[in-house]
Amino acid sequence: MPQTNPRVDPLPRPRLAPIAAALPDTVPFTGPETLERRMGQPFLARLGANESPFGAAPAAQAAMAAALSAGWKYGDPENHDLRHALAGHHGVEPDHIMVGEGIDGLLGLAVRLYAAPGAILVTSLGAYPTLNYHAAGFGARVVSVPYRDNAEDLTALAAMARQHAAAIVYLANPDNPMGSWHSAEAVETFIDAVPTNTLILLDEAYGEFAPQGTLPALDTSRANVLRLRTFSKAYGMAGLRCGYAIGDRQTIGAFNRVRNHFGVNAVAQAGALAALAAPDHLADVLARTGAARTRIAQIATINGLRPLPSATNFVTIDCGRDAAFASGLLDALARQRIFIRKPMAPGLDHCIRISVGSDLELDLLTQVMPNAIAAVPAD
C-alpha cells in the first residue's frame, strides 16, 4: 500500500493580543517614498507632505551636527534643557511641558492614557488620520462629525463630546487637511462647551503660520486641555521627530507613566533647542511660506481651480468637480513626478492639497498643471 506522510501541524506561534489581532496591517497614509518605489523614480517636486522646504535654522543644523559626535551617549531622558527653554519661550513652568516624538507620538500616548478600550474619541470626519490609527490600536471607538464650510465644526464637536461622554475630543487649529482656522475666541467657547472630564487635544502644529488672534492664550490651569506643538513644520525639522505638549501639571505628568523616555534623541533635542533661539530664521520661513502660498493660489486660479484661504504651509484647492476628478488630477501630477495629496473623506474629497515648495518646484508645477488637468477624463 502506498505510504502517506502524516500531516504535520505548524509549530504554535505567539498570539497577538485581542485588540491587535482584530486590526489590519496598515499605516495611516502612504508616504512619498513608497510612491517613488512603485514608480521606480524620484519625484521632482515634493509638494504633498506639509514639510518646510526652507529647512532648519543654520544654528540648529550646526547644533545637530555637533551633537552627532556625542551620539554614543543616550539623550537626556527628561529633555531637561529643551523643556526649560520651551517653558521660557511660552511663559509657563517646565512641568507644564512634555516633549515627545512629534505630535504623532504624543497623540498615541494621550490616547493610551485617557481612552480605555471601548471609550469614545470624537474627531472630525477627514481630520488627521494618525489619531484614528492610535485610537484603533488602543481599542477606543471613534465617532466623527462632518466638516462645515471647509472647517471643523466646533459646535458639533462639543455636542458630540457631551452626547457620548467622550474620553477625548480632537481639534486641529489651524486645520489639516483644509488649511482653515478658527479665532481664539471661538476655540475658547468650544473649550467651555466640552465637559471638564473630556480631554481636549488641541493640535496647533501649524500655529506659527496662523494669523494673529488664532491661538488662545495659554492657560495651564485647565486640566482637560492639551496644546500640541511641533518642530516639524515652521522649524523645518520634520525628519527629527520632536514635538511637545503644554498643559496642566498633573495632565502632563501622567505622560511619564507610559512614554518612551529615550524616544527623543539627542540630535533632535540639540536642534530644537537651537531652533528656539533663532527667531530671525523663523520669521524668514514664515515670510517665504506666505509668498509660496500666494503663488500656489495663483497657479490654481489661472487653471480654473479655487484655492481656499490657508493659515498653514499648504493650500487646499477646490477642483470644482467630484472626487474622481480630484483623484485623477493627483495621479496625473504624479505621472509628471509631482507629489501632492488630497483629502479622502466625503465632503472634502473633491479637493487637492499642495504644500509650499521651492521656486524651482513651483516653476515645475506651473509648467505641468495645465497638461495634468487636460489629462483627466472629462467624465
Chain Cα centroid distance, residue 272? 18
The answer on 304 and 219 residing in a single domain is no
Q: How do residues 48-86 score in pLDDT, each as one tens digit?
A: 999 999 999 999 999 999 999 999 999 999 999 999 999
45: left (phi over 0), alpha (psi -120 to 50) or beta: beta
The answer on 296 and 254 residing in a single domain is no
The answer on 217 and 99 residing in a single domain is yes
The answer on 289 and 244 residing in a single domain is no
**Does residue 21 fall inside a structural domain?**
no
**Does residue 259 fall inside a structural domain?**
yes
Give the residue from 258, 277, 296 where a domain finishes. Answer: 277
User: How many residues does this entry show for the chain?
Assistant: 379
The answer on 82 and 37 residing in a single domain is no
Task: Residue 78: give its domain's CATH number.
Answer: 3.40.640.10
The answer on 333 and 239 residing in a single domain is no
Give the residue from 243, 277, 311 where a domain finishes. Answer: 277
HEC per residue, the chain: CCCCCCCCCCCCCCCCCHHHHCCCCCCCCCCHHHHHHHHCCCCCEECCCCCCCCCCCHHHHHHHHHHHCCCCCCCCCCCHHHHHHHHHHHCCCHHHEEEECHHHHHHHHHHHHHCCCCCEEEEECCCCHHHHHHHHHCCCEEEEECCECCECCHHHHHHHHHHCCCCEEEEECCCCCCCCCCCHHHHHHHHHHCCCCCEEEEECCCHHHCCCCCCCCCCCCCCCEEEEEECCCCCCCHHHCCEEEECCHHHHHHHHHCCCCCCCCHHHHHHHHHHHCCHHHHHHHHHHHHHHHHHHHHHHHHCCCEECCCCCCEEEEECCCCHHHHHHHHHHHHHCCEECECCCCCCCCCEEEEECCCHHHHHHHHHHHHHHHHHCCCC
The answer on 67 and 141 residing in a single domain is yes
Residues 6+ apart with CB under 8 A from 321: 350
Give the residue from 277, 311, 339 where a domain finishes. Answer: 277
The answer on 206 and 237 residing in a single domain is yes
**Does residue 329 fall inside a structural domain?**
yes
With contact defined as beta carbons under 8 Å apart, do 153 and 147 qualify? Answer: yes
The answer on 145 and 49 residing in a single domain is no
Digit-by-digit pLDDT tens for the chain (379 residues) are 555 566 666 788 899 999 999 999 888 888 899 999 999 999 999 999 999 999 999 999 999 999 999 999 999 999 999 999 999 999 999 999 999 999 999 999 999 999 999 999 999 999 999 999 999 999 999 999 999 999 999 999 999 999 999 999 999 999 999 999 999 999 999 999 999 999 999 999 999 999 999 999 999 999 999 999 999 999 999 999 999 999 999 999 999 999 999 999 999 999 999 999 999 999 999 999 999 999 999 999 999 999 999 999 999 999 999 999 999 999 999 999 999 999 999 999 999 999 999 999 999 999 999 999 999 987 6
**Does residue 14 fall inside a structural domain?**
no
Looking at residue 224, what is its pLDDT? 98
The answer on 320 and 213 residing in a single domain is no
Q: How do residues 275-292 score in pLDDT, each as one tens digit?
A: 999 999 999 999 999 999
The answer on 175 and 113 residing in a single domain is yes
**Does residue 5 fall inside a structural domain?**
no
**Does residue 1 fall inside a structural domain?**
no
**Does residue 16 fall inside a structural domain?**
no
The answer on 256 and 120 residing in a single domain is yes
**Total-model pTM:** 0.94
Q: Which domain covers residue 334, as residue numbers?
A: 29-53+280-375
Q: How many domains does the chain have?
A: 2
**Does residue 286 fall inside a structural domain?**
yes
Q: How do residues 214-250 score in pLDDT, each as one tens digit?
A: 999 999 999 999 999 999 999 999 999 999 999 999 9
Task: Residue 361: give its domain's CATH number.
Answer: 3.90.1150.10
